[in-house]
A and B are shown apart, each in its own frame.
Chain A
Amino acid sequence: MSDRKLHAVAVINPLLPRQPLVSVSPRASSSKGLIHQFLEWFGDLGIFFWQVVRAAVTPPFEVRELIRQLDEIGSKSLPLVALAGAATGVVLSMEGRFSLTRFGAKSLLPAAIVFSIIHETGPIITGLVVSGRVGAGIGAELASMKVTEQIDAIEASAVNPYRLLAATRILACILMLPLLTLAADLSGLVMGWVAQALVEPISFHQFINSGFKGADFNDFLPPTFKTMVFGLIIGLIACFQGMRTQGGAAGVGRAATSSVVLSSLFVILADVVLVKLILIFFP
């Protein structure tokens, strides 16, 4: 292989040391430097994503590790997501009652709670809670493995770390986010009903019937499945930030923080785009 080709191989490695995106540095002080840094980060992320996809679709498949990650990311996030959903349901019920009573539309309260939760609040709360818990967890775990050469040891054992570490975690995030969203939706609806029933007695059956009046699958399925994109964003960014870490314990801390900050930010930005697309394609 020629020297030039070898150089190209080295240059496209997305895990080579770079300037961290979330940092304060003299280079980042100018807007030009910041843009350059962002584009460089984005390019590396794209190459990383391509390598993960390539590893994920070629055997051997890491089924055992995928199942472990489904449990780690799904089951262990369930209590937190359900709690966040429940709190949201209660708040929506209290705030909705206050606002709708002022406009004489108190009878719309169940519908307002149901639509708010299944359309937007449930998915985005789930996305943000998972990006906090799982994003930080993956970022810190992989970063710690990186700085202690455990990822190098995996590679030296002739195992593809993109396949074993990144693809399994990203896929688990993609698969678990819709299920966790369902849990957040359910606990939000139940606690929304409880909060309303405590003020004004209403049966759960009545609450649900009234809330889902006029709703169809287009109100429910697209917002739930859009969280698969959130899962992709959280898993991808956390794995990327973790696997490119440098610099010991400080690097691990930076990777965990940047995983949460960047994945939360991109989840919110993606939500804007996805809501618009859902409104266009599922009016």
Chain B
Amino acid sequence: METIDQIATKQGEAEKDGSASVLAVEGLHKSFGSQTVLNGISVAVSRGETLAVLGRSGTGKSVLLRLIIGLEKPDSGSVLIHGQDIAGLGLDQLGGIRMKMGFLFQHSALYDSLTVQQNVAFPLLHHKKEMSKSERNDRAEELLAEVGMEGALEKMPSDISGGMQKRVGLARALALEPDILLLDEPTAGLDPISAGEIDDLVLKLKQEHHMASIIVTHDLHSAKAVADRLALLNEGNVVIEGNFEDLQKSDDEFVREFLKHS
């Protein structure tokens, strides 16, 4: 019989050669009261791959990300991160898993009482105890430079624009060098130029860090630009999954309707 270490080693090797999913969601159900949001959804992402989850507003795209990072508990189904099911884990047990994930919130969710630099240094302050204050600040500065925000270190989140807040949120999500990046509507509410800049940034990060990423969006142009695969959600499940050409070839009425209006 294999030990846990052996299973983990095998999973790690399989992830490296791309034959295993870093993140897999299987048969996930989630309801709020009588409203079913996710109805047995299954998706998987490998190392270095980006999956864009598309769909109309209110189809459970953001809920899917919240389930993956453990902010919501599923009614049934499993969320496998590096082969480990996190669906039933408690807050402290989830901590170790969450350190491997970076999350960009739809409205950035920057800490409004901290400066931009302190926001990015926040995960380092709590998880990299061996780092001195100056090392933390240097690292935060590096991350902010990576997203083009090196000039706003001492600014408060309320003093910067929505696009800049997204960049800072992205820098914070990268602070612990995650294996998995979850982006909730990274271009929502941004002008086309800022949205394009965010897309370029996501592509650059993907090439440099080789993370498994899930991007939730209803912006088809953005999804097409940054994702390797697209999954279109409707009524709590995946209608179609594949590349952009697969979506274009589809005869499904909902897919055609979605493409027509995008």
The reply to whether the CB of A7 lies closer than 8 angstroms to some CB of chain B is yes
Report how far A10 CA is from B29 CA in the complex, Å.
13
Pick from A51, A144, A157: contact of B98, CB under 8 Å? A157
Q: Which of B's residues lie within 8 Å of A, judged by CB?
A: 66, 69-71, 73-76, 85, 87-88, 91-92, 94-96, 98-99, 101, 103, 105-107, 109-112, 122-123, 126-127, 129, 172, 176
Point out the residues of chain A lying under 8 angstroms from B88, CB to CB. 1, 5-6, 9
| B100 → A minimal CB distance (Å) | 9
Report how far A150 CA is from B103 CA in the complex, Å.
12
Pick from B75, B94, B99, B105: contact of A152, CB under 8 Å? B105
Pick from B91, B94, B98, B99: contact of A162, CB under 8 Å? B91
Do A6 and B76 have beta carbons less than 8 Å apart? yes
The reply to whether the CB of A34 lies closer than 8 angstroms to some CB of chain B is no
Report how far A55 CA is from B109 CA in the complex, Å.
23
Write out, one digit per residue, whether chain A residues 147-174 have a CB within 8 A of any chain B CB (1) or not (0). Answer: 0111011111111101000000000000
CB nearest neighbor in A for B106: A149
Do A7 and B95 have beta carbons less than 8 Å apart? no
Q: Which of A's residues lie within 8 Å of B, judged by CB?
A: 1, 3, 5-7, 9-10, 13, 51, 55, 58, 60, 144-145, 148-150, 152-160, 162
Do A1 and B85 have beta carbons less than 8 Å apart? yes
Pick from A7, A144, A149: contact of B105, CB under 8 Å? A149
Do A3 and B105 have beta carbons less than 8 Å apart? no
Point out the residues of chain B lying under 8 angstroms from A144, CB to CB. 112
Instruction: Report 17 cross-chain contacts, Cβ distance below 8 Å, ordered by A residue.
Output: A1-B87, A5-B88, A6-B87, A13-B73, A58-B92, A149-B106, A150-B112, A152-B66, A152-B109, A154-B111, A155-B71, A156-B98, A157-B126, A157-B172, A158-B95, A158-B126, A159-B122
Point out the residues of chain A lying under 8 angstroms from B112, CB to CB. 144, 148, 150
Looking at A152, A153, A157, A162, the one whose CB has the most chain B CB atoms below 10 A away is: A157
Point out the residues of chain A lying under 8 angstroms from B129, CB to CB. 60
7 other A-B residue contacts (CB within 8 Å) besides A155-B98, A162-B91: A55-B92, A148-B112, A149-B105, A150-B110, A153-B109, A156-B98, A160-B95
CB nearest neighbor in B for A160: B91
Point out the residues of chain B lying under 8 angstroms from A157, CB to CB. 98, 122-123, 126-127, 172, 176
| B204 → A minimal CB distance (Å) | 23
Do A148 and B91 have beta carbons less than 8 Å apart? no
Do A153 and B91 have beta carbons less than 8 Å apart? no
CB nearest neighbor in B for A62: B126
Do A156 and B87 have beta carbons less than 8 Å apart? no
Do A156 and B73 have beta carbons less than 8 Å apart? no
Do A9 and B76 have beta carbons less than 8 Å apart? no
Do A158 and B94 have beta carbons less than 8 Å apart? yes
CB nearest neighbor in B for A164: B126
Report how far A110 CA is from B99 CA in the complex, Å.
62
Do A152 and B74 have beta carbons less than 8 Å apart? no
Report how far A236 CA is from B66 CA in the complex, Å.
27
A152-B105, A159-B126, A162-B91 given; A3·B111 CB < 8 A: no
Point out the residues of chain A lying under 8 angstroms from B126, CB to CB. 60, 157-159
Do B92 and A3 have beta carbons less than 8 Å apart? no
CB nearest neighbor in B for A144: B112
Report how far A159 CA is from B94 CA in the complex, Å.
10
Do B71 and A3 have beta carbons less than 8 Å apart? no
Pick from A9, A159, A162: contact of B73, CB under 8 Å? A9
Report how far A13 CA is from B107 CA in the complex, Å.
24
Report how far A150 CA is from B106 CA in the complex, Å.
12
Report how far A144 CA is from B88 CA in the complex, Å.
28
| A247 → B minimal CB distance (Å) | 15
Point out the residues of chain B lying under 8 angstroms from A51, CB to CB. 91
Do A152 and B95 have beta carbons less than 8 Å apart? no
Report how far A6 CA is from B112 CA in the complex, Å.
34
Point out the residues of chain B lying under 8 angstroms from A55, CB to CB. 91-92
Do A158 and B123 have beta carbons less than 8 Å apart? yes
| B194 → A minimal CB distance (Å) | 20
Point out the residues of chain B lying under 8 angstroms from A159, CB to CB. 95, 122-123, 126
Report how far A192 CA is from B123 CA in the complex, Å.
51
Do A149 and B107 have beta carbons less than 8 Å apart? yes
Point out the residues of chain A lying under 8 angstroms from B92, CB to CB. 55, 58, 160
| B97 → A minimal CB distance (Å) | 8
Looking at A5, A145, A156, the one whose CB has the most chain B CB atoms below 10 A away is: A156
Do A156 and B103 have beta carbons less than 8 Å apart? yes
Do A158 and B98 have beta carbons less than 8 Å apart? yes
Report how far A152 CA is from B111 CA in the complex, Å.
11
Point out the residues of chain B lying under 8 angstroms from A7, CB to CB. 75
Do A6 and B95 have beta carbons less than 8 Å apart? no
Do A150 and B75 have beta carbons less than 8 Å apart? no
A149-B105, A153-B105 given; A3·B76 CB < 8 A: yes
Do B111 and A150 have beta carbons less than 8 Å apart? yes
Point out the residues of chain B lying under 8 angstroms from A152, CB to CB. 66, 71, 105, 109
